[in-house]
Amino acid sequence: MPNDPSYAAVRLRLDDIALRLSIASLVVALVSTVIALVSTVIANRARKDAERIADRAHDEWAQQKWFDLYFLTNSAYDALDKFLADCNFQGNRLISIRGGGDYPTRSNEIIRMFREILMMATVFPKCPAIDTLCNAVAVKFEDAPVEMYSRRKQLQENLMNAMMDIRDNALVDSSVLKRVTK
């Protein structure tokens, strides 16, 4: 049968079909490889976009935490300023506190605010701005109002310096403003 011409024709057809199937398999393999490479490029771009978005979200969150600390410090500064302005001294004696209340109660409100600032500041990374803030609010309000009142300028100055250091970290990034105004 190997010398039979019909056998040779069938064999030729089978070889032709096998060659075509091999070529088709090669084309499918090449197309699959190209698709896999394109998918890899798309996946890498998506990963980079996700990382960029996560980094931006983290930066905005961190900036918001600095702003929260700045706002709290500003509120404490305003409360201290109002308290000191409300204290009415005559010589070395506290005569009255405008707006009512007594010295221990009003000074305890300020101390509570300072403790709240300390509590929030202690979870921030150690840095000069946090050190300045902690030193500014870690004050002792003496039992004698005149002792505290004599240090009022230093208290206010220390708190203002700390607040400005915190403010520098809380400043809104210009890229945030550009995205908001679009």
Cβ burial, residue 41 (10 Å; 0-12/13-18/19+): exposed
- What pLDDT score was predicted for residue 4? 64
Q: Furthest-apart CA pair in the chain: how many Å?
A: 133
Q: CB–CB of 73/103 below 8 Å?
A: no
- Please name every residue paired with 88 in a beta bridge, in sequence order, or none if there are none: 96
Alpha-carbon distance 94 to 152, whole Å?
Answer: 14
User: 160-179 as b/e, with b when 16 or more CB fall inside 10 Å?
Assistant: bebbebbbebbeeeeeeeee
Give the CA angle between residues 123, 129, 135 to the nearest 5°.
Answer: 80
Residue 77 confidence (pLDDT): 93
Query: Along the 182 residues of the chain, how does pLDDT read in single tens digits?
Result: 556 666 666 666 777 788 888 999 999 999 999 999 999 999 999 999 999 999 988 888 888 999 999 999 999 999 989 888 888 877 777 778 888 778 888 888 888 999 999 999 999 989 999 999 998 888 776 666 777 777 788 889 999 999 999 998 888 777 666 666 66
* pLDDT value for 50: 96
Q: What is the pLDDT of residues 19-47, one digit of tens each?
A: 888 999 999 999 999 999 999 999 999 99
The answer to whether the beta carbons of residues 156 and 84 sit under 8 Å apart is yes
- Nearest residue to 141 via CA among 131, 133, 152: 152
| Strand blocks (E) in the chain | 87-90, 93-97
CA distance 164 to 160: 6
pTM for the predicted model, two decimal places: 0.70
Which 3 state secondary structure label does DSSP give 65?
helix
Structural domains of the chain, ranges and CATH numbers in brackets = 60-180 (1.20.120)
